[in-house]
Each structure stands twice: as structure tokens, then as C-alpha cells.
Amino acid sequence: MTSISSIALSGMNAARARLEVSANNIANLDTPGYRRQEVAQSAQPGGGVSATEKKSAVQGSSLEADVVAQLQAKNVFLANLAVFKTGSKLAGSLLDKTV
């Protein structure tokens, strides 16, 4: 079984990848022939998630999708950060009780 911190960290890394990809898509909005990038996430055995970047099958931009992806990535990152902090606090609390 994977630790809570490792699971939260993998979620934070996936959110960071999604944010970077959407920012890159927005930066290249007017680039002729540019194909958007997308992030595919998959669950890992034992917990956590992995993220893989891939090119979109079609050319063109989708500003709405990229802005929504940025907002989602921010919220996912913050949620995983809260889990990470809570797990760290809990571990510290447990260590204080056993000493």
C-alpha cells in the first residue's frame, strides 16, 4: 500500500502537468498548425495517479477547455496539498504521542 503522502504528491504532480499543458496551449493559441496538448491520467496500483502528455488528434485551439483545465488543476493541486499537510500533521501528532 502506498502512503497517503505519496498518493497526494502524485495528484499534485498530475495537476502541475495539467496546468503546464493548458498554459502551453493558451500561449500557442494563435500558432498556425499547432495541435493542442492533452494530459491523460491513469490510476496506479496501490494508489496514486500518473499523468502522460499527448498531442490532440485535431489541429486548433480550445480556449474555453484550457481555462477550465487551469481552474480544475489549481483546485486539484490545492486539495492534494491539504491532504499532504494533514497527513504530515497526523504523523507528527502520532510521533508526539509515542515519545
* pTM of the predicted model as reported, rounded to 2 decimal places: 0.80
Does residue 47 carry a pLDDT above 80?
A: yes
The enclosing H or E element of 74 equals: helix 63-98
Q: What is the pLDDT of residues 56-68, one digit of tens each?
A: 887 777 889 899 9
Mean per-residue pLDDT, 53-57 = 88
The pLDDT score that the predictor gives to residue 13 is 94
User: What are the extents of the domains in the chain?
Assistant: 4-98
The pLDDT score that the predictor gives to residue 98 is 53
What whole-number percentage of the chain has pLDDT above 90?
A: 57
Q: What is the pLDDT of residues 12-41, one digit of tens each?
A: 999 999 999 999 999 999 898 889 999 999
SS3 assignment, position 39: strand
67: number of Cβ within 10 Å: 13
